[in-house]
Amino acid sequence: MNEETTHKIMDLTNLTLTELQTALQNGETTSTAVTEAMLERIVAIDNDIQSYLTLTDELALAQAQEADERRARGDDSPLLGIPLAVKDMICTEGVQTTAGSKILEGFVPPYDAFVVRKLREAGAVILGKTNTDEFAMGSSTENSAYVTTRNPWDLSRVPGGSSGGSAAAVAANLAYGALGTDTGGSVRQPAAFCGIVGLRPTYGRVSRWGVVAFASTLDQVGTFGRTVADCTAVFQTIAGHDPHDSTSLDVPVPDYEAALTGDIRGLRVGVPKEYFVEGIDAEVETAVRTAIDKLAELGAEIVEISLPHTEYALPVYYLIAPAEASSNLARYDGVRFGPRVAGVDMIDTVKKTRALFGPEVKRRIMLGTYALSAGYYDEYYGRALKARTLIKQDFLNTFDQVDVIVTPTTPTTAFKIGEIADDPLQMYLQDIFTLSVNLSASCGISVPCGFDSQGLPIGLQLIGNSLQEATILNAAYAYEQAANWTGAMAEQPL
Amino acid sequence: MSDLSRSDVEKIAYLARLELTEAEKALYQRQLSAILHYAERLNELELDDVPPTAHAISQQNVMREDVVETPLSMDDVLFNAPQTAQDQFVVQAILDE
């Protein structure tokens, strides 16, 4: 392509989602034009990043054309004609959904997940399915059975995980926004590593119907955007009650976009001392402390708080999540979907078929099976459920005193591919600041708050009480507008 | 607790219906033991009087109207199966003659 065309494509793919909304509303561009630009950019650079597992280019162009026709008829839905990416943990009718696993290779769902249906009804364009650690178990996408996604800031580093494909796609301007899933930090941690915004809503705020199950009391769909407003726009569309998911909450959906006022005067912001301890990178701590000063400048009241059971969150999580996973993943037996590896009898067939699971998934199935097995249930799973009560209570007590809790999203910036892949406990420690949100009834968001000396993005986590997404979104928005990292975060090298 | 033995690992693998190679058994014996030792820090907590939390936000008895909905078609349901016959999933015999 000539230089002029390259420049034009860059301009369109550089737009934020909200800038694109305006451009589409003003007739300055069309969904077809931006979808073509996105697909061209994906073809040009995604070989280096590997954020997409499946590209649905023909479908996307058809959706774009339909969106342009809807707009011509006067439709002005917020996501109309906007190209987005969907994590491959989320079912898409007629489009292969693998959960990053060989055991679902070739699986074509007969229906859309609730969240995908919401996006389609809103007229969004779905570009494709993004890479994930197998069954969302991991913090780097290195556990994907297909590819390892690379961090757009440094191709030798991981994008985080498990929703690393979605995060890398949004960071590299290969989608205007994306869906991920967050069971222990799988939206917030990759958002932090890739320099974008990632929201994990309160459990039940978004339907899990049609989402491949990992740990059913912890799983929740979350959204990515290059800005808080972008992240909010996608979240606004997918939030809400779904009768097909009995854990989905039947409570009204606020106008989150209207909540983004940038005014946080008087907001009580808690800083938990347990999150600034040994193991946290000094540059991460400095960036987060500087961000907290910025919140104070904006009129927030900073309060030192304590979440005394923080150190127990990791062992609790790594008993409960594998226990739930071992039960959920029992369904993969080569009978109703996925490949079958034939053995001498039925049990042998099931065992051989399940050998298609990758090493981390097998490890967690083994761990969960043990924690639930006769003689060990009380000692492991039972104790974990009780300790979960104490962690949840920490948060409920704290939200009597403060509106928002602020922490680093991750202890370090993005690590090198292969650096900790052989040490499961080291990998699990990646989630140490995020997984308490999942264990309690909280919601959390990661927003960029600077770079380390290697030029890698750092994330600030804001945690809110149940269903207080509007509060954390506005706090993140106020910080984002004042600290103004958005321009620098858009300068990723690719 | 002591480390998991090889036979513990084999028993868990059988319960989970996972076929493991010898190398995997050795790896998981070591790694699961390390993870379980790490989890033992929960023993520091006094939990006797603490109720368990299965769901952080729990709803009970979620009901809907008893209305018949249109299910997936038989073709859709069977589409992803590795082997089907006469609108059914085919598996190996489970009971002996």
How do residues B41-50 score in pLDDT, each as one tens digit?
A: 999 999 999 9
- pLDDT of A4 above 60: no
**Partners of A222 in beta bridges:** A180
Domain A8-266+405-489 belongs in CATH node 3.90.1300.10 = yes
Which pLDDT band holds residue A2 (cuts at 50, 70, 90)?
Answer: very low
Q: How many CB pairs under 8 A join A and B?
A: 161
Q: Judge: B17–A351 Cβ closer than 8 Å, yes or no.
A: yes
Q: Judge: A380–B39 Cβ closer than 8 Å, yes or no.
A: yes
Instruction: Give the residue from chain B lying closest to A202, CA to CA.
Output: B57
Instruction: Give the residue from chain A lying closest to B63, CA to CA.
Output: A246
Instruction: Give the residue from chain A lying closest to B43, CA to CA.
Output: A383
pLDDT at A426: 85
- pLDDT of B67 above 70: yes
Better-predicted residue by pLDDT, B55 or A199:
A199
Instruction: Give the residue from chain A lying closest to B35, CA to CA.
Output: A425
Q: What's the gap in Å between the CA of B13 and the closest CA on chain A?
A: 6
Which pLDDT band holds residue A429 (cuts at 50, 70, 90)?
Answer: confident
Q: Judge: A249–B57 Cβ closer than 8 Å, yes or no.
A: yes
Which residues of chain B have a CB within 8 Å of the CB of A309? 45
Mean pLDDT over A174-183 rounds to 98
CA-based nearest residue to A196, from A239, A149, A231: A231
Residue A15, CA distances (Å) to A246, A396, A438, A490 in order:
38, 39, 32, 10
pLDDT at B94: 87
The beta-carbon contacts of A62-67 under 8 Å, at least 24 apart in sequence, are A63/A31, A63/A35, A63/A120, A63/A123, A63/A124, A63/A125, A63/A126, A64/A30, A64/A31, A64/A32, A64/A34, A64/A35, A64/A36, A64/A125, A65/A31, A65/A32, A66/A123, A67/A31, A67/A123, A67/A124, A67/A125
pLDDT at A92: 98
Percent of chain A with pLDDT over 70: 98
**Residues A178 and A86: beta-carbon distance below 8 Å:** yes
Q: Judge: B59–A349 Cβ closer than 8 Å, yes or no.
A: no
Q: Mutate which of B1, B7, B9, B19 to disrupt the A interface (most A C-beta within 10 Å)?
A: B19
Contact with chain A for residue B56, Cβ under 8 A? yes
> At which residue do the structure tokens 């003689």 appear?
A375
- pLDDT of B2 above 80: no
- The three-class DSSP label of residue A443 is strand
Which pLDDT band holds residue B96 (cuts at 50, 70, 90)?
Answer: confident
Q: Judge: A389–B92 Cβ closer than 8 Å, yes or no.
A: no
Instruction: Give the residue from chain B lying closest to A330, CA to CA.
Output: B16
pLDDT at A437: 97
Contact with chain A for residue B39, Cβ under 8 A? yes
- pLDDT of A1 above 70: no
* Cα–Cα distance for residue pair A109/A125, rounded to 1 Å: 18
Report domain extents, chain A.
8-266+405-489, 312-383
* Cα–Cα distance for residue pair A416/A419, rounded to 1 Å: 5
pLDDT at A374: 87
Read off the pLDDT of residues A266-304 as tens digits, 9 standing for 90 and up. 999 999 999 998 789 999 999 999 999 999 999 999 999
Angle, nearest 10°, between helix axes A164-171 and A31-49? Answer: 120
Task: Specify the range with the lowest mean pLDDT, choosing from A7-11, A19-23, A113-117, B82-86.
Answer: A7-11
Task: Specify the range with the lowest mean pLDDT, choosing from A389-393, A418-422, B83-87.
Answer: A418-422
- The interface pTM score, or ipTM, of the predicted complex is 0.95
- pLDDT of A8 above 70: no
* Cα–Cα distance for residue pair A466/A255, rounded to 1 Å: 16
Contact with chain A for residue B23, Cβ under 8 A? no
Q: Mutate which of A248, A366, A367, A443 to disrupt the B interface (most B C-beta within 10 Å)?
A: A366
**Residues A99 and A134: beta-carbon distance below 8 Å:** yes
- pLDDT of A6 above 60: no
Among residues A140, A186, A207, A466, the one annotated as catalytic is A186
Mean pLDDT over B84-89 rounds to 96
Q: What's the gap in Å between the CA of B47 and the closest CA on chain A?
A: 6
Residue A186 bears catalytic tag:
yes
* Cα–Cα distance for residue pair A2/A342, rounded to 1 Å: 53
Which residues of chain B have a CB within 8 Å of the CB of A387? 42, 45, 47, 50
Read off the pLDDT of residues A70-85 as tens digits, 9 standing for 90 and up. 999 999 999 999 999 9
* Cα–Cα distance for residue pair A286/A453, rounded to 1 Å: 12
pLDDT at A274: 95
- pLDDT of A66 above 50: yes
Among residues A31, A87, A207, A326, the one annotated as catalytic is A87
Mean pLDDT over B57-85 rounds to 91
Read off the pLDDT of residues A332-389 as tens digits, 9 standing for 90 and up. 999 999 999 999 999 999 999 999 999 999 999 999 999 999 889 999 999 999 999 9
Q: Judge: A335–B55 Cβ closer than 8 Å, yes or no.
A: no
Mean pLDDT over B14-30 rounds to 96
Burial tier of A26 (Cβ tally within 10 Å: 0-12, 13-18, 19+)? exposed
* Cα–Cα distance for residue pair A142/A4, rounded to 1 Å: 37
Read off the pLDDT of residues A201-210 as tens digits, 9 standing for 90 and up. 999 999 999 9
Percent of chain A with pLDDT over 90: 92
* Cα–Cα distance for residue pair A485/A310, rounded to 1 Å: 30
CA-based nearest residue to A369, from B32, B47, B40: B32
Q: Hey, what domains does chain B have and what are their CATH numbers?
A: 6-44 (1.10.20)
Which residues of chain B have a CB within 8 Å of the CB of A334? 82
pLDDT at A348: 96
Which residues of chain B have a CB within 8 Å of the CB of A111? 72, 76
* Cα–Cα distance for residue pair B23/B5, rounded to 1 Å: 14
